[in-house]
Chain A
């Protein structure tokens, strides 16, 4: 996956902020069509082939921010202002979450192994000896790969002492754990929405920005604009994403018009209690391993690809759902908006209901920037009594959920834990094998993003920075941890 800070994310933040500035100024419909020209001025040195293409992609990014399904509703003749008008009148449907920008796709050639001229044509020729398909041939004293025979196993790359074999992947296809990203006949990226688990890996790994997530920002902004009472539910991962303390983040949220701010850690405490009960009960019954259920992308994964895990995941709802319930009990008239690092949470909210909106940290940052709010300058708001659920702020970090559950179990040493820290192709294969051979543990903690929610697709800072700002509170590896590999 790409480093979080790159030209593309910088551009994305800029676009988000500029669009919101127009919105808050009441000039969205009238001036939105000028934005691609102000963001990509005539004298810019383009990163793509030309400024005209860059402007076209800016246009598509704006459409994604408006929440438009670009794959199906792309009308090049329609001005952005008209799109904005429609979105302000009626919320577009949430699903499918991801959308492709076909114009942006480079059409990368299929994933391949290639032997560079670093090959010395050595005597031992381990590439040739280890190739299971006899695909390596020597021409003029240099190794070559016979494309027709190659099965892309990568063995030659592993054994070459000169590192002469290079792997040239297709970043989006490589990133998708379930093989839902493919090329169509024109060689342009296509997402198979029936199989997509909305983890957002592809969107983060395309260096051309050809896959975008459809934002849920405008439905939320409209709620605030209409003066509705909205409760902001902030995910545990928010700590460290903005400069300043949690209390200052709360103050900033109140300033942009939220009625109340509630930590999702509060709902996480409920999830923890349920899961702790359940894991102990299953252990007593001897019914085998249980997995956590708080990762939305994982729940999609079970639903679409790992049906046999249906009876394995915890029956506890996710922290977001519990928190929303608590909020609605406290203030029945309030709407609830989840603010987190996750894209898949929007899918969960749409499928399960009970949550009125989901936005990401980076979208929240765009609101702060457009409104000129500096979190660090805000006067700290009162967080209330957090002692009951403080420990659940750890939910955002790999191992954190398991730690919380174990802290609520009478005999934590008896529970064997396996953390799944990031679901990629390899881990997906491992999980598939559980159907035949169950892992010998009691609790499997599944997080689809490497490192936990702290490294989610909607985050702003690198996990290392977030960790530092959280006071280095990395979840200490739980006792009796077994490595998944």
Chain B
């Protein structure tokens, strides 16, 4: 059976986007291609966490879990971790 890819959703709601989320869209430039191959990355509408008083934009959802204040480095680290767990 083919194993499931890691489901990654980058919030591209306006608030996340202008507070650094836009940077994450360049993932091809800073994440290991081998890791990207294991992931299914998509942009998504507001995850509603910001309205619930989350820790801060930009938000990313990885396999259902929401992470806040994600920088490029953090994003690369989170993906690598998720891929490792998935294996």
Contact = CB atoms under 8 A, between A and B. Distances in A.
Interface in B4-33: 12-15, 17-20, 22-23, 25-26, 29
Given A374-B45, A374-B46, A462 B18 contact: no
A365 B15 CA distance: 8
A320 B29 CA distance: 35
A468 B14 contact: no
Contact of B45 (A362, A368, A377, A462): A377
Contacts of A369: 14-15, 18
A376 B45 contact: yes
Interface string B43-87: 101100000000000000000000000000000000000000000
Nearest to A465: B22
B13 to A, nearest CB: 5
Given A243-B14, A369-B14, A374-B45, A468 B25 contact: yes
A476 B3 CA distance: 42
A376 B14 contact: yes
Interface residues of B, number: 16
Interface residues of A, number: 21
A10 B12 CA distance: 16
B5 to A, nearest CB: 22
Interface in A436-485: 460-462, 464-465, 468-469
A289 interface: no
Main secondary structure of the interface of A (DSSP, over half): helix
Contact of A243 (B13, B20, B26): B13
Interface string A398-439: 000000000000000000000000000000000000000000
Contact of A13 (B12, B19, B26, B43): B19
B26 A464 contact: yes
A376 to B, nearest CB: 6
Given A242-B14, A374-B13, A10 B19 contact: yes
Contacts of A362: 18
Contacts of B20: 5, 10
A246 interface: no
Interface of A: 5, 10, 13, 242-243, 362, 365, 368-369, 373-377, 460-462, 464-465, 468-469
Given A365-B18, A464-B26, 4 more contacts: A13-B19, A376-B14, A460-B22, A465-B22
Interface of B: 12-15, 17-20, 22-23, 25-26, 29, 43, 45-46
15 contacts: A5-B20, A10-B19, A242-B14, A242-B18, A373-B14, A374-B13, A374-B46, A376-B12, A376-B45, A377-B13, A377-B46, A462-B22, A464-B26, A464-B29, A465-B22
